[in-house]
């Protein structure tokens, strides 16, 4: 579904992403792991059009989308959440998701119908599916960190994605919130048939839910494969898993 070929991006001489490769098939959950600064977030920014690559290609459903602006990438069916909470802070939870649905239906240039009469059902459905229903009226600033991260996902869902990209969905969450988030990701994959690409530091989470894993080090792809293949790869162990033998675990 998504193919990233030989993609690179440098920031004033520093190669943040260096000839990275990535494949995501329809219906899969794929994780990208790598040490801090490996270029995971930059890679996601390149895929979603927030940054333009210096070289390389991004193909989505066989169509080239390299360098397309973010709003067009979104309309193709790729939406994302952000690592640092990135919501509409002065608006209520409900409005946050409503805007996303309005944008998806391309109604944002509707000038005179009151918003409160539009897309209430779609918005409610999304809030229900992520378990934020009781909190629709709260202003985002008043939410707990975990709820805000979930709201991130809800906003991304408003875009009716086929491919959902999550940038460290559980970062900063408490263990209970993390469990809830894992359940949520699994549910989205099963119930809505979404293809999910995410990156994460929490190894437990990665090996628990990812069908396949891609490992990045210093901007380059070391390996992409099944969790067991990745776990047993010598290069990965050296670079990332601390050199200890975790293969037998």
Partner 1 sequence: MGEKKAVVILLIVAALFAVVPFGLPRFYVYLIALIVTTGLLSTSLNFALGFGGIYQLHHAVFYGVGAYGAAVAITKLGYNPWLSFIIGPLIAALLSVIMGLICVRLSKLYFGMLQISLGSLVWAVVYRWYSFTGGDDGIHGIPVPEIIASPEGSYYFAMIVAALSLYCMYRLLNSPFGSTLQGIRDNAVRSEAIGVNVRRHQLAAMVIAGFFAGVAGVMFVVVDNSVFPDMMFWTLSMEITIMALLGGWFTLLGPMLGAAVIVALRTFVAAYTEYWTLALGVVCMVVILFLPEGILGYVQKISKKRASAYDRG
Q: Considering the rule CB under 8 A, would residue 120 count as an interface residue with partner 1?
A: no
Q: Which residues contact 155 (CB under 8 A, 6 or more apart)?
A: 81, 87, 96, 97, 99, 100
> Binding residue for partner 1 (CB under 8 A) from 13, 62, 114, 134?
114
Q: Which stretch binds partner 1 (CB under 8 A): 17-25, 68-76, 224-232, 237-245?
A: 68-76
User: Nearest CA to 209 among 219, 218, 221, 196?
Assistant: 196
Instruction: Quickly list DSSP for 126-150.
Output: HHHHHT-GGGTTSBGGGS-HHHHHH
- Look-up of token digits 């875009």: 159
Q: Considering the rule CB under 8 A, would residue 223 count as an interface residue with partner 1?
A: no
Q: Considering the rule CB under 8 A, would residue 171 count as an interface residue with partner 1?
A: no
Shortest Cβ 146–partner 1 spacing (Å): 19
Q: Considering the rule CB under 8 A, would residue 60 count as an interface residue with partner 1?
A: no
- Look-up of token digits 């200890």: 244
| Binding residues with partner 1: total (CB under 8 A) | 41
Residues that bind partner 1 (CB under 8 A): 48, 50, 69-72, 74-75, 79-80, 82, 86-91, 95-96, 98-100, 102-104, 106-116, 118, 155-156, 158-159
């Amino acid at each position: 579904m998504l193919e990233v070929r030989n993609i690179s991006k440098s920031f004033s001489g520093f190669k943040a992403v260096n000839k990275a490769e990535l494949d995501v098939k329809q219906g899969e959950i794929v994780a990208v792991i790598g040490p801090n600064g490996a270029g995971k977030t930059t890679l996601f920014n390149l895929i979603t059009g927030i940054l333009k690559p210096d070289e390389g290609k991004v193909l989505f459903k066989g169509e080239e989308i390299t360098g397309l602006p973010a709003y067009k990438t979104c309309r193709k069916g790729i939406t994302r959440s952000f690592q640092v909470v990135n919501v509409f802070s002065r608006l209520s939870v409900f409005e946050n998701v409503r805007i996303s649905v309005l944008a998806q239906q391309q109604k944002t240039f509707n000038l005179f119908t009151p918003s409160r009469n539009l897309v209430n059902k779609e918005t409610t459905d999304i809030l229900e599916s992520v378990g934020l229903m009781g909190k629709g009226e709260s202003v985002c600033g008043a939410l707990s960190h975990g709820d805000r991260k979930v709201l991130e996902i809800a906003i991304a869902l408003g875009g009716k994605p086929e491919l959902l990209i999550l940038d460290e969905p559980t970062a900063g969450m408490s263990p209970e919130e993390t469990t809830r988030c894992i359940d949520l990701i699994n549910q989205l994959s099963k119930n809505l048939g979404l293809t999910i690409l995410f990156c994460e530091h929490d190894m437990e989470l990665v090996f628990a839910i990812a069908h396949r894993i891609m490992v990045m080090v210093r901007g380059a792809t070391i390996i992409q494969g099944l969790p067991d293949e990745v776990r047993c790869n010598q290069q990965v162990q050296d670079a990332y898993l601390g050199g200890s033998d975790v293969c037998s675990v």
